[in-house]
Amino acid sequence: MKVGIIGLGLMGGSMAKALSGTGKYTVEGYDSDGETLRKALSSGAVARPLTKDGLSSCDIVVVALWPQAAVDYIKENAQNFSKSCTVIDICGVKRFVCESLYDTARENGFVFVGAHPMAGYHLSGFENSKAEMFKNASVILTPYENTPEKAVKTVREMFLDIGFARAVISTPGEHDRIIAFTSQLAHVVSNAYVKSPEAVEHKGFSAGSYKDLTRVAYLNEDMWSELFLENGDNLVKEIDSIVEHLVQYKEAIENGDRGRLRSLLREGKLLKKQIDG
């Protein structure tokens, strides 16, 4: 099976390495940066550069670009995919990407399936990519109503082949709503956390809790500012929600109201227990 990968950064590079490593897929790749492409070729992650002709013979095309660039690429190349090709993106927002591309795919006779691999790393670029990136991770797939089952099966199998433990089927709307909570809010809170005036002098005073809360504060601001704006409605709701709750604890503390504070903490504890089982 021939897979074309557009964009050989952290995620595209890792997928190239993982797919090539299976022996089941032949990977052709493209990156707008010639040096990155050269590295991908010489490392064996990519068998050949992906040309326009090569694109038309791919069984699967993975567009591993940021959302706006992924949409632009797929629209510009809509006529270059074969009719039996399944094109996927791997962006962290799905309404923005999928809603405009479902039509493009239908009109041009290829299949498009939105995908979001729940894996990553705080550093970007091909040099940080690795075949083991997806070990035991989830991938979320957001096919549309009329997506051929065969295409979904092929994509699902490809993800399982490279280490994913499970594929979760969702809709773009559900995906964006939940991901605003599980991932985007985590990055905002973590990035805000380190802005306390105490942050710079805390050395020697921190245990695991500080470390956990701030792990994802180090992020690619160009990519995340795009992702946040493309899911702004959901993310604003999540920020409002956590702020509202934080203020409740604060007021209980200001009022010296131990009963209220205790019940706020107990409520969170029981939710955590319920959620994680």
Per-residue x/- track, 98-137, its own copies (CB under 8 A): --------------------xxx----------------x
In what order do the strands lie in the sheet containing 26-30?
Answer: 48-49, 26-30, 2-6, 60-63, 86-89, 111-117, 138-142, 166-169
Q: What is the C-alpha separation between 65 and 61, in angstroms, rounded?
A: 12
Nearest CA to 62 among 52, 72, 74? 74
Closest contact distance (angstroms) between CB of 61 and its own copies is 25
Coil, helix or strand at residue 142: strand
Q: Does residue 232 touch its own copies according to CB under 8 A?
A: yes
Restricting to residues 133-192, which ones interact with its own copies according to CB under 8 A? 137-138, 140, 166, 168, 170, 175, 177-183, 185-192
∠ CA 156-157-163, nearest 5°, is 95
Paired sense of beta strands 166-169 and 26-30, if any: unpaired
Closest contact distance (angstroms) between CB of 23 and its own copies is 28
Closest contact distance (angstroms) between CB of 118 and its own copies is 4
Q: Does residue 194 touch its own copies according to CB under 8 A?
A: yes
Per-residue x/- track, 258-277, its own copies (CB under 8 A): x--xxxxxxxxx-xxxxx--
Q: Does residue 69 touch its own copies according to CB under 8 A?
A: no
Q: What is the C-alpha separation between 177 and 166, in angstroms, rounded?
A: 20
Q: Between 24 and 253, whose beta carbon lies closer to its own copies?
A: 253
Residue 114 pairs in a beta bridge with 89, 142
Candidates 30, 81, 96, 228: give the one binding its own copies (CB under 8 A). 228
Closest contact distance (angstroms) between CB of 20 and its own copies is 24
